Amino acid sequence: MFYKLHQLNFMDFLNFKNLKPYFFLFVIPLLFSACESDIDIKKEAGPIRLKVGMEKRVAQDNEFAWDLFKHVLDNTKEVNTFISPLSVSIALGMTWNGADGKTKAEMESTLKMSGMSEKEINEYYKIMQNSLTRIDPSTKLNIANSIWYRDGFPIYPSFLNVNKEYFNAEVSALDFGDPKSLDIINNWCSKKTNGLIKNPLDRISEDAIMYLINAIYFKGIWSSEFKESDTSEKDFVTSSGKTNKVDMMRQEQTFNYFEDDKAQYLDMPYGNKAFSMTVILPKQKNTTESYLKDFDVDKWNEIVENLTPREVQVYFPKFKVKSKLELKNILSIMGMPSAFDGEADFSRMSKDNLLISRIIHSTYCDVNEKGTEAAAVTVVEVELTSMPQNPVFNANRPFVFVIRENSTGVILFMGKMGEVEKY
C-alpha cells in the first residue's frame, strides 16, 4: 500500500514506534571563498572535454536550471532567492535511477532528458562531476555522494550499484535505531564539507529507510579581487523602493561585459577563470521580475555568447543571503506530479511502493572582496507509499547572478537579490 503524503514532524524523530519506511536524500553543495595567498592563478584553466553529444545534456541541464529558477521566483514571496540547480539535478538524477513507468517519464521531461539513453545520462553525471573537480588547479572543488540505508530494508542491489558506478556513491547499511548512526552520517557530512556543515541531520526519523547525500565543496577567489580599502558605504534601492546603506565594493578592471536595451551583463571570474559569476543588472526602467518574464535558456545563451572583454568600472555590494524552499509543489507544477502521489513508481529502487513526500532546498551565500561563500542543502523525502566607453556597472538595485563553469557552461548556483543590507 501507499502511505499518505505528509509534512515531516521532527518531533516524530524521537519516537521509533510504528515504523513506516521513508527515503531521504540530502544534497549539500557548498561554494566557498579562499583567502589563501598561495593559490596560483597565473595560468588559465583548460576546457572540460565532453564526449560527443554531451553538450546537448549541458544545454538541457541549463534549461532545467532556468525553468526551476523561474518557477521558484513565481511560487515564492521571498525578496531574495538563491538556489543550486546542479544539486537539485544531481539529487533527482540519483532518484531517477530508481524510477520507472510514468514517474520516470515525467522526471525525464522535467529534467529535460529527452533524446539521450539512460546510460548516456548517467555517464554525463559521472563525467561532469569528475571533470568539474579537476578543471582548475587554483580552485578547490570536491563532489561526494553517499547512500545510507536502514539495515535489513530490501533495496535492490542494481539501484545501489548504478549510483556507485556513475555517482561514485559510498553505500553503507546502518542500524538506524542506534544513536551512533546519526553521528556517523553527520560526521561524513562534516568531513566532506571541511567542517562547515556539521549536523545537517538533527535526528533519524523512525520512518527513515535511506539517506542519499550529495556534498559539493568549492573554494576559490576572484581572479581580480576587490580591495577592502575601496569598499565604501553606498545606497542600494530595494525592490520595494526602500533605500538601504550597503557596503559597496569597487574596482575598475577588464571583465567580459555586454549590454542591451534591457540590462547590463557582467562576468567576474574565479581563480584561473574556469568558474565565474555572471551578474544580470536590469536597467532602471526594468525590475528583475519584468526582465525575467520572457527569459529563457536561449536568451541566456545569447548573453554568454555576446560577453566580450571591456574595461568596466564595477560597483558591487557585499551581501549574504539565506533561502529555504519546499520544491515538491514546484517540481510537480514543472511536470513530475506522479512522483509525489499514489501513482509513484519507484519499482527499480525497492519491491515496496515508494513516493517522494518532500523536497527541501536550503541555501546560503556570502559575497565579499575575496570571493564567494555559499551553501545549499536539498532534502528529497521518499515515503513508502550601443555601448558607452568604459561602462559603469553599478549594482545599486536588484540583480540576478549565476555561478557557472565556463568551458561547458553548466550552471552551479543562481540567485536574485531584491534587497541588500549592510554587510
The CA angle 151-152-153, to the nearest 5 degrees, is 100
Q: 88-117: per-residue pLDDT in tens?
A: 898 899 999 999 999 999 999 999 999 999
Amino acid at 164: K
CA–CA distances in Å: residue 402 to residues 38, 119, 126, 151, 309:
27, 29, 23, 41, 18
Q: How far is the C-alpha of 156 from the C-alpha of 158, rounded, in Å?
A: 5
Mean residue pLDDT of the chain comes to: 84
Alpha carbon distance, N-terminus to C-terminus of the chain: 52
Q: 122-180: per-residue pLDDT in tens?
A: 999 999 999 988 888 877 778 888 888 889 889 999 999 999 999 999 999 999 889 99
Residues in a beta bridge with 232: 248
Ranges for all domains in the chain classified under CATH 3.30.497.10: 22-36+52-221+321-384
Q: 307-359: per-residue pLDDT in tens?
A: 999 999 999 999 988 777 888 999 999 999 999 898 889 999 999 888 887 77
Q: Could you tell me the three cell numbers for 195?
A: 567542517
CB 189 within 8 A of CB 200: yes
b/e code 173-200 from CB counts within 10 Å (16+ = b): ebebeeeebbeebbebbbebbeeebeeb
CB 38 within 8 A of CB 389: no
Q: Does domain 22-36+52-221+321-384 have CATH number 3.30.70.1280?
A: no
Print the SS3 string covering 41-94: CCCCCCCCCCCCCHHHHHHHHHHHHHHHHHHHHHCCCCCEEEECHHHHHHHHHH
b/e code 347-382 from CB counts within 10 Å (16+ = b): bbbbebbbbbbbbbbbbbbbbbbbbbbbbbbbbbbb
Ranges for all domains in the chain classified under CATH 2.30.39.10: 228-317+387-417
SS3 6: coil
Q: 180-194: per-residue pLDDT in tens?
A: 998 998 888 778 877
Query: Which of the pair, 311 or 39, is modelled with greater confidence?
Result: 311
CB 380 within 8 A of CB 25: yes
At residue 381 the predicted structure's pLDDT band, cuts being 50, 70 and 90, is low
Q: Which CATH class is domain 228-317+387-417?
A: mainly beta
- Give me the pLDDT at residue 367, please: 85
